[in-house]
Amino acid sequence: MSLFTAIRETYTGFKSLLTGMRITGREAMRPVITVQYPRETLPMPARFRGHIKLVLDPETGRPRCTACTLCAKACPSGCIELDGIKREGDKKKSVSRYELDFTKCSLCGSCVEVCPSEAIDFSKDYNVVSLSRDTFAQMDLYAKVEAEAADWARLHPPPAVAEASADASTAAAPAVANPAATGRATP
């Protein structure tokens, strides 16, 4: 190796070191991207697949599920069990019990795909944890959706009786929904 090659190699090597320093220096100036987890969380992406959940109809405040049991039939692991009843004033059946065995579920999404009324969706829950197996072996999705329905009912209080009689068509839906939402103790 001639002297000039040696000098040139040393020079280019040193320059590459400075380039590295420049890169780390630049990164140090950029903002911190750590999410302080228990205090901050990232929004889950739209296609994230958590355990399934029952979808609330945003207009009536009731679960969309009609208890047709197609999801239970479509499930390859047989992890869905549900019952439906015909409630007073309703034309169709609606769900009254919905249990998911999440220990068997492989999140394949067949139930979501097969549902004719788009009543099942993937939830965005990822930090589910429990000390008991039953929490996952018998996941009570109906209780969860009823809790959501109760929240919905609180946010949408029934209009006053005078208004209800004045406009029967819009008042009809909440008037039916709310007794059912509060009366979920009765099967």
Partner 1 sequence: MTTFLSLEPIRVLLYLVGICAFVGGNAAYLVLAERKGAGRIQRRPGPNEAGWAGVLQPLADGLKLLAKQVLVPPGSDSLLYRIAPLMVMAPPLMCLVTIPFGDTVVARNLDIGLLFVFAFGSINVMALMLGGWASRNKYSIMSSARVVSQNVAYEIPMLLVVITLLMMTGTMDLQEITAQQSGGFWNWNIIRGIWDFKAGHIGANLLMPVTFVIFFTCMLAETNRAPFDMAEAESELVAGAFTEYGGMGFGVFFMAEYANIVVGCSVATVLFFGGWQSPVGFLSGGLWGVGWFLLKAYALIFTVIWVRWTFPRTQFYNLLNLSWKILIPVSLFTLMLTGVLIKVPQWLHHLR
Among 33, 131, 155, 168, binds partner 1 (CB under 8 A): 33
Query: Which backbone phi and psi does 35 adopt, to 5 degrees?
Result: -100, 120
* 31 near partner 1 (CB under 8 A): yes
Q: How many residues bind partner 1 (CB under 8 A)?
A: 16
Distance CA 147, CA 178 (A): 13
3-class SS of residue 135: helix
Q: Is residue 42 within the footprint of partner 1 (CB under 8 A)?
A: no
| Token reading at 65 | 């599920």
Query: Nearest to residue 96, comparing CAs of 107, 88, 108, 106?
Result: 88
Looking at 2, 24, 132, 186, which residue binds partner 1 (CB under 8 A)?
24
One residue of 12, 15, 20, 182 binding partner 1 per CB under 8 A = 20
DSSP 100: E
Amino acid identity of 25?
G
What minimum distance in Å lies between the beta carbon of 42 and partner 1? Answer: 15
The residue ranges that bind partner 1 (CB under 8 A) are 6, 10, 14, 17, 20-21, 23-25, 27-28, 30-34
